[in-house]
Amino acid sequence: MLITAPSLLTAEPGADSGAPGYVRIEDGLVTGAGYGRPPRTPDIELPDGVLVPGFVDLQVNGYYGVEFQIADRSRWTSVAARLPETGTTAFLPTMITAPVPELVAGLRIAASFLPDLVDVAGAARVLGVHLEGPFISPDRRGAHNPAWITDPTPAAISELIAAGAGHLRLVTLAPERPGALAAIRELVAAGVLVSVGHSDAVASQVADAAQAGARKVTHLFNAQRPLGHREPGVVGQALTDPRLTSGFIVDLHHVTAPACSIAFAAAPGRIALVTDAAACAGMPPGEYLLGGEPITMPAGTGEPPVRADGTIAGSALRMDRAVANAVSVGLPLPAAVAAASRIPADLIGRPDLGRLTPGAAGDMVWLSPGLSARATWIAGRLAYSDGAAATLAAVPA
């Protein structure tokens, strides 16, 4: 398949001009991409908008009424089949704080069917599991249940790694907890990405975590010690430490537009857009679950879901909207696309995703001029079309 677009972004650093370009896909992989005249008559010629790599979301608690923490295989599959509507082509289902035995059981169940969800035709790729907790700070717990927060003992870490059977890909923890640095080293040795989050750590403790192997910060600014002019906290260390890339919820509610602009300016190339979506995402206002406990998505406000006490509990954000929001606060479109694709893909150890260069997976999104997903391809196969007349004319069945 050869596809052309009036604007192409490959997400490769320094390579994107946003000029007219083309992408060639063979056997599910990109075999050519470039700007200017295509090598032959295209099979698909997009009339407007921009063609970009598929988005990679490293924090998805649920979507379309499904909470991954308590869902079975069929419901995981149903979400993966619909996420291409948002431009997402690969993601990490996320489980939040719960008793360790429950997380172990959940990981074992997920590990039993995850190999079958890696490459399902027309569905977003499931990259593994993200555990957000339970080794976090009770003082920065956010929407997590304080009764289930605990220390990362060697026994607990070993049990979780074993239960994941190679599918535990990311763990968010607070590095100030007893045993946390040893846990980071053990997780990293097992091939697990470690993220600092829900943490009251001072900057030096975050630096120690990075020295032990942590490479990420979970939802920058939220549920963490803020930036201070004498104590930089988690935020200050995240923005200045070149070893750390921050997940960032750019719904403009979790973090205001000016603070978003500060983060993008302070840490260029080290921000990965995430949704932190909960089961309410893509659904009407009402009652849903996060971590097995109730949340409410308000009606008509555009505000994120909350617990009964008003604490923000995940989001209803789409990845294409996160990109548009990032652009709205001043981030250039090529950088916003990279933050949603190549940067998270590289962070999770998947250099075959999140870019449109030879050898990469043929995962692509056609964004409208307003930056909403019009069509999505996974491994070169059409996974989603918005059904609009312009889309149907440009994208053959």
Nearest CA to 174 out of 127, 125, 220, 209 is that of 209
Start-to-end Cα distance in the chain: 13
Q: Give the number of other Cβ atoms within 10 Å of residue 183's Cβ.
A: 25
Nearest CA to 131 out of 99, 168, 157 is that of 168
Indicate the DSSP class of residue 208: H
Q: Burial-class residue 259 by CB neighbours within 10 Å (0-12, 13-18, 19+).
A: middle
Q: Which DSSP helix (H) or strand (E) runs through 89?
A: strand 88-96
Indicate the DSSP class of residue 147: G
Backbone phi and psi for residue 57, each to the nearest 5 degrees, phi listed first: -110, 115
Whether 363 is catalytic is no
180: its two tokens: 């946390």
Question: Which position among 200, 251, 276, 320 bears the catalytic label?
Answer: 276
Please give the positions annotated as active site: 276
